[in-house]
Amino acid sequence: MSHATGVGYLKDGCLPHMWCPGCGNGIALASMLRAFEELGYKKNETVVVTGIGCWGKTDDYLLTNALHTTHGRALAFASGVKAYNPKLNVVVLMGDGDSVTIGGNHFIHAARRNIDVTAIVLNNYNYGMTGGQCSGTTPSERYTSTTVYGNPERGFDICALAEVAGANYVARGTVYHGWDLKEHMKEALGNKGFSMVEVVSPCPTHYGRNNSMKQGVEMLKWLKEKAVSKEKYAQLTDPEKEAYFVIGKMVDKNEPDFSTRYEQIRARALEGGAKR
Amino acid sequence: MQREAKLVQGNEAIAHGAIYAGARFYAGYPITPSSEIAEECSRLMPKVDGVYLQMEDEIASIAAIVGASLAGAKSFTATSGPGFSLMQENLGLAVMGEVPCVVINVQRSGPSTGLATKPAQSDVMQIRWGRHGDQSIIALTPATVKECFTLAVQAFNFAERFRVPVILAADEIVAHMRENIIFPDPGEVQVIDRKKPTVPPEQYKPFEPESDGIAPLAAYGSDYVYHVTSSMHGLDGYSNNDPANAQWRVAQLHRKLERYRDEIVMTKSYDTDDAEVLLIAFGATTRAARAAALEARKNGIKAGVLQLITLWPFADKEIAAHGKGAKKIVVVEMNYSGQVTGEVRRILGPEKDITLVNKYNGQIITPKDILEVLK
């Protein structure tokens, strides 16, 4: 049996990709394109909206429709695309800076609105493109180029944020667990309403180098060891928990998405049912 | 059948004008004195098969209308000072990505929160230069409720025709004023739609201008697949760092508007043929200027008014032509700096007798204020 490669969505001449050796973006991209293929996505019916950052440059590799936007605002652009044409598959690629730091407001409101887009958030715990500064997900005490004495702040749990904001589907995977990652993406893309997959990914060039994991392989080993199931995580002691994180599906709901609700409101408007 | 005039507010007229022009997507965030546009759209859009989307802020509002436009909608948003400031970055994306859309900026008093409910005309330069990077912009400014309607239609026509964002720069006075207007029937006022590609989909390049200087724009979801990016890009819409391409592209963004400058720049003149005193005004101040000019004529002063309907590109030629014969120029505007006055000085030169009549306290400029300097 042959597996989906997703290569039909990839622009010719893009390999090897532009990202650093050891970067997880290539695996994340391959997982996403395989999911596209398995879902039978048509290029003209698919719009990939990207933010700014290493992962945000992905649109240059794609043969689907694409909209490369401004830093942090990709979800707001995507909301306009989807709200006007709900038939489109709208996929939003953002890093941790884009999604929950500069763009945090759009992130929680897209989830609250339950707009039917799929956000694929590549979390490498720092701003890779600009030289490895700390972001809104950099954990406390970690080192980056702007937290050389350790990070005094705490990092967001992106999945928890998406969940409490009302997302229909939330999962976390890593680029070490590539097959599961593709499955999460596939489920997220197939789920109506706001779906979010957090992809924990290595940035050996900056985050790893600053935090005793200079080699890409070391970072993959870190993902292999520290990313655990909900059940396994529950068995850890509290001090142990700090070094580990949960992967897997967190939320899988079927609440009506924005466009479904808007059509109901539209029907009411046509019946002349304004409150005032 | 005789049509009845309706007593309509400026903001309502803008919303109706936009929908008349074919707008079917509104995204916005409430802000005084523009909120009635959002309210009107929230009522009307569901009934005309359009979408009303209330966003979390103005940054998101303009982002959403850009997204909707690329999905094929005529789209717009409305805001005022603080919100317009927040929109600047994504407005730049609309310029760079050549995305047709309309932004209504109902100007209010600043700086910052300022006198939040009071009028001003102090965003003239922000509209022109508010974004980083060198770029051109079209801005129109209504003086009456009727113009709120007609210029809303015109703003969409320019946006669609030239693939640009267009600013409709109203002010609190015109936006909250009520006047009688007759809404035109469909087909009565020209409505222009963007050019769609006609080449086979595999040959489509979203940034390749045709002989008219404008590239056709497909819609996401059509047979055409295309890329739009905030980054410097080639004809195919993929990012491109080649200096020659960047040189050509930045110039192209300017030149496509320069080429149609005479069609874009609109002015109206009142009693200017023999005018020795030329009053230059725009938006709500036009009304005071006209009243003052008529009053001055009664006192034997040959005064006329040049109304700037298009704020940007600036009416250089028209001001030069009208200003030549006048002994005295009076520019009327609601800001301290004389944002339009400076442009008029640039055109007519330092020797010309140019007087600024201005207010920046949130109060309207009256005919009496203008007559003071005509004595």
Show residues of chain B in contact with A85, CB under 8 Å: 71-72, 219-221
Q: Indicate if the pLDDT at residue A29 is higher than 80.
A: yes
Q: Give the pLDDT of residue A274.
A: 72
Interface touch B25/A80, C-beta < 8 Å: yes
Element (H, E) at A177: none
Q: Indicate if the pLDDT at residue A276 is higher than 70.
A: no
Residue of A nearest to B94 (CA): A69
- ipTM > 0.90 (yes/no): yes
At B334-374, the pLDDT tens digits run: 999 999 999 999 999 999 999 999 999 999 999 999 999 99
Show residues of chain A in contact with B71, CB under 8 Å: 47, 80-81, 84-85, 88
At A186-201, the pLDDT tens digits run: 999 999 999 999 999 9
Residue of A nearest to B224 (CA): A44
| Boundaries of every domain in chain A | 16-270
Q: Give the pLDDT of residue B2.
A: 74
The overall average pLDDT reported for chain A is 96
Q: Quick one: average pLDDT of A97-122? A: 98
- The verdict on A263 touching B (C-beta cutoff 8 Å) is no
Q: Quick one: average pLDDT of A66-95? A: 98
Q: Give the pLDDT of residue B144.
A: 98
Q: Indicate if the pLDDT at residue A273 is higher than 90.
A: no
Interface touch A76/B63, C-beta < 8 Å: yes
Show residues of chain B in contact with A82, CB under 8 Å: 67
Overall CATH class of domain B268-374: alpha beta
Q: How far does B34 lie from chain A, in Å, by closest CA? A: 20
Q: Quick one: average pLDDT of A16-30? A: 97
Query: Would you state the CATH architecture of domain B6-181?
Result: 3-Layer(aba) Sandwich (3.40)
Q: Give the pLDDT of residue B3.
A: 83
At A30-66, the pLDDT tens digits run: 999 999 999 999 999 999 999 999 999 999 999 999 9
* CB < 8 Å & 24+ apart, contacts of A179-185: A180/A247, A180/A248, A181/A27, A181/A28, A181/A31, A182/A31, A182/A32, A182/A34, A182/A35, A182/A38, A184/A249, A185/A31, A185/A32, A185/A35, A185/A118, A185/A120
Show residues of chain A in contact with B60, CB under 8 Å: 73, 76, 79, 105-106, 109
Q: Quick one: average pLDDT of A123-134? A: 97
Q: Quick one: average pLDDT of A234-249? A: 95
At B259-298, the pLDDT tens digits run: 999 999 999 999 999 999 999 999 999 999 999 999 999 9
Interface touch B73/A105, C-beta < 8 Å: no
Q: Give the pLDDT of residue B1.
A: 63
**A157 exposed, middle or buried (CB, 10 Å; 0-12, 13-18, 19+)?**
middle
| Residues of chain B below pLDDT 70 | 1
Residue of B nearest to A89 (CA): B221
Interface touch B67/A79, C-beta < 8 Å: yes
- Domain A16-270 part of CATH 3.40.50.720: no
- In whole angstroms, give the CA distance from residue B60 to residue B27: 8
The overall average pLDDT reported for chain B is 97
Q: Give the pLDDT of residue A172.
A: 98
DSSP for residue B164: -
Q: Indicate if the pLDDT at residue A1 is higher than 60.
A: no
Show residues of chain B in contact with A78, CB under 8 Å: 67
The DSSP bridge partners found for residue A122 are A95, A199
Token representation of residue A178: 């590539």
Q: Indicate if the pLDDT at residue A150 is higher than 80.
A: yes
- The verdict on A109 touching B (C-beta cutoff 8 Å) is yes
Q: Indicate if the pLDDT at residue A173 is higher than 70.
A: yes
| Boundaries of every domain in chain B | 6-181, 268-374
Q: Quick one: average pLDDT of A156-169? A: 98
Q: Give the pLDDT of residue B251.
A: 98
Q: Indicate if the pLDDT at residue A2 is higher than 80.
A: no
Residue of A nearest to B45 (CA): A266
- The verdict on A265 touching B (C-beta cutoff 8 Å) is yes
Q: Give the pLDDT of residue A3.
A: 87
Token representation of residue B163: 């693939």
